[in-house]
A and B are shown apart, each in its own frame.
Chain A
Amino acid sequence: SQQGEEDPQALSIQEGENATMNCSYKTSINNLQWYRQNSGRGLVHLILIRSNEREKHSGRLRVTLDTSKKSSSLLITASRAADTASYFCATDVWGNTGKLIFGQGTTLQVKP
């Protein structure tokens, strides 16, 4: 079964607002990665956070990781219509070389 659970499954906001997506997982990890997918196309890598890190920033993206709660969050600030996409978290499970286990994803709609 999939390791990652994401919530909400769908999120609709206005341009300029912030969007927060959450991801939970079940086992120890090497790292957690966030991806964006537009309309069923290829995945765009957004950010990787390692198990010994608690927070990372990249432009308008902020990712947190709480290994004690086995959870992560992705915050997109000042959202734009172009941010409309599906967002997936993926865990690189400790001891498994390279295998990513994906969450079910959050579909974000940003209304202009």
Chain B
Amino acid sequence: SAVISQKPSRDICQRGTSLTIQCQVDSQVTMMFWYRQQPGQSLTLIATANQGSEATYESGFVIDKFPISRPNLTFSTLTVSNMSPEDSSIYLCSVYGQVRGEQYFGPGTRLTVT
């Protein structure tokens, strides 16, 4: 399976500020995915990030709020902009593994907005 790291692992931020989350993979991957897990909830896909093209956002998520960069095949960032307490969540990136269809997740970034 792919080895995925995320930075930071957790952060506490003030409302109105922005936080950029990094996702690093140990192998080149075409597609990277960003998910959000709100407290006590399941995971919801935010967007799909392909290298060399604009990210594709799911319904309810917009680029102005969650800009994504994908500068190369092993790295991506997700920025949570103009944060409010409702953005307090765990943010996870994922990639496909070697076995067709399997998705593997990073350790997540736990964000608390005060």
Chain A residues with CB under 8 Å of chain B are 2, 4, 30-31, 33, 35, 40-43, 45, 48, 50, 88, 90, 92, 97-105
Contacts and interface: CB of A to CB of B under 8 A. Distances in A.
Nearest to A88: B42
Given A42-B108, A48-B101, A98-B103, 15 more contacts: A2-B44, A35-B105, A40-B37, A40-B110, A42-B105, A43-B43, A43-B105, A45-B105, A48-B102, A92-B101, A99-B58, A100-B43, A100-B45, A101-B45, A103-B42
A104 B58 CA distance: 19
Contacts of A41: 107-108
Nearest to B30: A98
Give chain A's interface secondary structure class: strand
Interface centre among A4, A45, A97 (most CB of B within 10 A): A45
Given A98-B31, A99-B48, A102-B44, A42 B102 contact: no
B99 to A, nearest CB: 7
A33 B103 contact: yes
24 contacts: A2-B42, A2-B44, A33-B101, A35-B105, A40-B90, A41-B108, A43-B43, A43-B92, A43-B94, A45-B1, A45-B105, A48-B101, A50-B101, A90-B43, A92-B101, A92-B103, A97-B31, A98-B48, A98-B103, A100-B33, A102-B42, A102-B44, A104-B41, A105-B42
A42 B97 contact: no
Interface string B38-55: 000111110010000000
A31 B101 CA distance: 7
A88 B43 contact: yes
Interface centre among B33, B99, B105 (most CB of A within 10 A): B105
Rank and list the top 5 A-B pairs by shortest CB-CB distance, nearest first.
Answer: A42-B107, A43-B105, A102-B42, A102-B43, A31-B101
